[in-house]
């Protein structure tokens, strides 16, 4: 699809694709999803929820992980994955299993975590339920793999001797200023698109190549939105890098896993979440007349009140 024809997050041509992320972030379509997330993020509610689960366990003589596996065949799959993930995060008995999952890049970590889970929850690793549990665990592990991948990109420093890095940076300029020729690689023209000096490489030190990748993806995928934002903010480059830091933190703290489970745990979906956040921040910025000095307090306000953190 031609990127110029994309309207950020509101395409009606591709149902259940990345362009619907904003709809999901702004309104959880299933009330049960929202209730479950709220319960697991509130200590008091979680305490009473665990009591309720214990009662259910006594009535049905089965652990929650097994009940989730049985529900997998008749319920909305992304929702089941989310509940399974939250269960792994908050079960005191599964701390060791969770640490094994977090080290998923180590060979054999997945099988080790699955075996540990089957022992702790006492289910037959060859039962029909175990097939679904394995699938659920695989989905959760995929999220951790993506997080590790993003962390690796974020710690990869921009290298001006790297042809690929330089080509992407110059490509970013062409996307941001298609009708303006960059006079020199090291130029104060970069300040016109929101960088601090004549070499943007110094601004990417905090988020590495991930900061550049995010900006490039936004500018390439949503050129019309990019050209709307550029004249409004004088710190587009720095804003984009700050948003990368915030978006990566959401991934690390697993606050957007439910989006991945709904749309796919891919780098593209991560970029789409980033684009959504950047657009929403710009909307907040435009509510009042701002100056560069207002950026930090406004950005902090955005992080506190952003829709993702509310849920």
Tokens linked to 110: 């997945």
Q: Return the pLDDT at 209.
A: 97
Residue 71's pLDDT is: 62
Distance between CA 75 and CA 71 in Å, rounded? Answer: 6
For residue 194, give the nearest of 242, 233, 227, 244 by alpha carbon: 233
**Whole-number percent of the chain with pLDDT over 90:** 35
pLDDT in tens, 149-160: 999 999 999 999
| 3-state secondary structure string across 232-270 | CCCCHHHHHHHHHHHHHHHHHCCCCHHHHHHHCCCHHHH
Q: What is the pTM of this model?
A: 0.79
Six token digits for residue 153: 């990109």
pLDDT tens, residue by residue, 114-154: 888 888 777 776 777 778 888 888 999 999 999 999 999 99
Contact (Cβ atoms closer than 8 angstroms) between residue 220 and residue 173: no
- pLDDT of 5 above 50: no
Mean pLDDT over all residues of the chain?
80
Query: If we measure between CA atoms, which residue out of 68, 92, 62, 99 comes closest to residue 82?
Result: 68
Tens-digit pLDDT profile for residues 170-216 = 999 999 999 999 999 999 999 999 899 899 999 998 899 999 999 99
Token digits of residue 200:
């943007």
pLDDT (average), residues 255-273:
90
Residue keyed to tokens 């509310």: 310
What pLDDT, in 10s, does the model give residues 208-244?
A: 999 999 999 999 999 999 998 888 776 899 999 999 9
């Amino acid at each position: 699809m031609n990127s110029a024809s994309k309207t950020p997050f509101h395409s009606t041509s591709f149902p259940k694709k990345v362009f619907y992320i904003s709809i999901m972030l702004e309104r959880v379509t299933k009330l049960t999803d929202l209730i479950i997330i709220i319960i697991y993020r509130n200590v008091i509610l979680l305490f009473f929820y665990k009591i309720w689960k214990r009662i259910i366990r006594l009535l049905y003589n089965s652990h929650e992980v097994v009940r989730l596996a049985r529900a997998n065949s008749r319920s909305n799959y992304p929702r089941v994955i989310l509940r399974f993930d939250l269960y792994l995060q908050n079960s005191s008995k599964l701390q060791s299993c969770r640490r094994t999952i977090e080290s998923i890049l180590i060979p054999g970590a997945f099988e080790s975590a699955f075996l540990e889970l089957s022992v702790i929850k006492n289910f037959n690793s060859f039962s029909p339920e175990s097939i679904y549990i394995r699938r659920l665990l695989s989905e959760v592990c995929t999220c951790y793999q993506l997080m590790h991948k993003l962390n690796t990109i974020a710690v990869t420093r921009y290298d001006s001797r790297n042809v690929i890095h330089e080509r992407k940076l110059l490509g970013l300029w062409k996307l941001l200023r298609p009708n303006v020729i960059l006079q020199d690689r090291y130029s104060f023209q970069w300040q016109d698109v929101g960088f601090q000096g004549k070499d943007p490489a110094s601004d990417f030190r905090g988020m590495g190549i991930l900061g550049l990748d995010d900006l490039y993806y936004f500018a390439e995928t949503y050129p019309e939105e990019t050209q709307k934002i550029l004249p409004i903010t004088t710190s587009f480059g720095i804003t984009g890098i700050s948003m990368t830091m915030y978006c990566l933190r959401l991934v690390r703290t697993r606050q957007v896993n439910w989006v991945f489970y709904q749309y796919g745990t891919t780098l593209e979906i991560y970029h789409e979440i980033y684009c959504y956040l950047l657009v929403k921040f710009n909307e907040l910025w435009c509510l009042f007349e701002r100056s560069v000095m207002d950026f930090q307090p406004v950005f902090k306000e955005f992080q506190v009140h952003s829709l993702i953190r509310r849920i």
